[in-house]
Amino acid sequence: MARYLLRRTAFLLGSLLAAAGLLFLLLRMLPGDPANALLSVGATPEQIAAARRQIGSDRPLAEQFWTWLTGLARLDFGTSFVSRLPVGPEISARLAVTVPLTLLSFALAVAVAVPVGFVAAWRSDRWYGAALNAISQLGIAVPVFWIGMLLVTVFALRLRLLPAGGFPRDDWAEPGRALTALALPVITIALVMSASLIRYVRSATLDVLGSDYLRTARALGSSFAGAMWRHGLRNAAVPVISILGIELATTFLGAVVVESVFTLPGLGTMLVEGIAEHDYPVIQGVLVVSTFGVLVIGFAADLVQRLVDPRLRAHLGRGRR
């Protein structure tokens, strides 16, 4: 296991380095001059040249990349071209919104999808099992921004039970206000995510319900609940865990849409602002942090799969030999 962890960690760091290099090159290929973010309309060529020297865009690409990469190694994401403030602290402040939004949405989606998906598979021959399956497929087809606007219309504008958007200026100094501000965004993401997860849980449960080992356990006298707990749960969890990792990573990356609908000062909003202003340090910092988050989620999902599935642990043991 130690060798596996070292190998996966090396792969994670290598993937992050490759992603950082690709990101750096792609940004420099985009049209537009980042020096314009510091200048007003009608700037003279001398002013543009001075702005390029100020932000370092006049230096060779290799030198710019090395400077940025060595800064990343020290967790220094550079200084914003526009605000002239360090990018790292701003990313940390924005993560205080995006990370709770992602984790709360994920937890709520799992809490809904697992029991509903199980019932949809267990009672697939009943009308309500088919209804749950149909509702989950409908939920996948509905855009997340439409659900967000619908919830705002009902719960914020008409019933006035929850705020339509925004986040407290003092962040989490008052947890109750912060959680209230995240209520509608969390429900929005959870509804979309749970619709997708229900299908995967239902499919995995159907495979288990039709398996020979479950029928054998029942024939040997085990109750349905006992057979599912001892033999079915772990087998059904293996394919679902990988999907959970993908859904969590997708939610983290896709928070930009929900943050825009609810005007949340999260990482996605910061990325949109950076793109609009050609603020390379902001764009690079947000995307590197997002990439690292996705890689860590994938690493964690793979590790949990190996802990749950003895076949993967046996394969790992054979690989060591």
Q: How far apart are CA 268 and CA 260, in angstroms?
A: 8
User: What per-residue confidence (pLDDT) applies to 314?
Assistant: 56
User: What per-residue confidence (pLDDT) applies to 312?
Assistant: 59
What is the CATH T-level fold of the domain 91-313, as seen in this structure?
MetI-like fold (1.10.3720)
Per-residue pLDDT of the chain (321 residues; tens, 9 = 90+): 678 788 888 888 898 899 989 988 888 887 777 777 677 666 777 887 888 888 787 888 888 889 888 988 888 998 888 888 999 999 999 999 999 999 999 999 999 999 999 898 888 888 888 888 888 888 888 888 888 889 999 999 999 999 988 898 888 888 999 999 999 999 999 998 998 899 888 888 888 888 777 778 878 887 777 777 777 777 777 778 888 888 888 888 777 788 888 989 999 889 988 888 888 889 999 999 988 988 888 888 888 877 776 665 555 555 555
User: What per-residue confidence (pLDDT) applies to 223?
Assistant: 78
User: What per-residue confidence (pLDDT) applies to 309?
Assistant: 67
Map out the domains of the chain as residue ranges. 91-313
- The two tokens of residue 113 are 């999808």
User: What per-residue confidence (pLDDT) applies to 317?
Assistant: 54
Which residue type does 16 have? Answer: L
User: What per-residue confidence (pLDDT) applies to 250?
Assistant: 82
Residue range 262-301, pLDDT digits in tens: 989 999 889 988 888 888 889 999 999 988 988 888 888 8
